[in-house]
Amino acid sequence: KGDIETPNSAEIAVYNLSEATSSKIRKEFTRVVLQAGYQDNCAVIFDGTIRQVRRFRENGTDVCTSILAADGDAAYNYAVVNTLAAGSTSAEHVGACQKAFSGKGADAGYIPDMAGPALPRGKVMYGMARKYMRDTAKQAGTSWSIQDGKVQMIPVRGYLPGEAVVLTAETGLVGAPEQTNDGIKVRCLLNPRLRIGGRIKLDNASVKEMKTELKMNANLYGKPKLDNDGLYRIIKCEFTGDTRGNDWYADLVCIGIDDTMHLPLDQL
């Protein structure tokens, strides 16, 4: 998952289903919802459209049914909008795009206050909804993406409402967070509370600081900043889980709340 408009994706491998069940998934179902977590913290980590189902023998004993899915790809690829009347606002532009997205299966998620001046003349909006959503988001100083079938917009210096997930060795932090060119990289145990645009809280003393080359001006190249309060916004989250093995992780890339320099390029 990422804080970018390109649809999120999942690859789900299910072992030793009967051939009849695998065939039923391929022929009858179009949507997959994946839940994961622990007994007191289990929730949806992916909701999307099935794009491909494969069945193959992985070894001498195990048959794998692999489901490849995308989140909101129908809305992203096929939603179109029409003209708005004079006096329309940014909120109405988002509303027009959202109406088109909803018609393709992507409902409204978190949208911040889009207050702004009305246009004196009509705005021609005829074409792909994603283009006009991109333009409106840029003008409003937000990012936009589709997360688990819902369209959300996050201010570039903001975050989703809700408490930050505190990550320590006692609450699931694995290893030491690391400051990199892409952002603060963090590994923790799989946690469905981790959401794109949401926050985590770290002890900055636990973050391994990035090495700056002697010939590089750190201020000029702008390495990711450590937030004074240890609060970071999640811009990328990759869940990895194996109910038959030991992998059960969330790998995050995060930035300080005010660090707009390291947002994904298509959100600047």
Q: Each residue of 20-79: pLDDT tens digit?
A: 999 999 999 999 999 999 888 899 999 999 999 999 998 888 999 999 999 999 999 999
Please give the C-alpha separations between residue 212 and each of 158, 223, 264, in angstroms, as whole numbers: 28, 9, 22
Q: What is the pLDDT of residues 109-151, one digit of tens each?
A: 999 987 766 666 667 788 999 999 999 999 889 999 999 999 9
Lowest mean pLDDT among 122-136, 173-187, 189-203: 122-136
**pLDDT of 268 strictly over 70:** no
Query: How far is 107 from 129, CA to CA, in rounded Å?
Result: 14
pLDDT confidence band for 266 (50 / 70 / 90): low
pLDDT confidence band for 217 (50 / 70 / 90): low
**pLDDT of 95 strictly over 70:** yes
Query: How far is 22 from 18, CA to CA, in rounded Å?
Result: 6
| Those residues with Cβ within 8 angstroms of residue 235's Cβ, 6 or more apart along the chain or in another chain | 2, 3, 183, 196, 253, 254, 255, 262, 263, 264
Mean per-residue pLDDT, 151-178? 95
How much is the pLDDT for 119?
A: 67
How much is the pLDDT for 169?
A: 95
Mean per-residue pLDDT, 95-111? 95
How much is the pLDDT for 192?
A: 96
Would the pTM of this model clear 0.95, i.e. be above it?
Answer: no
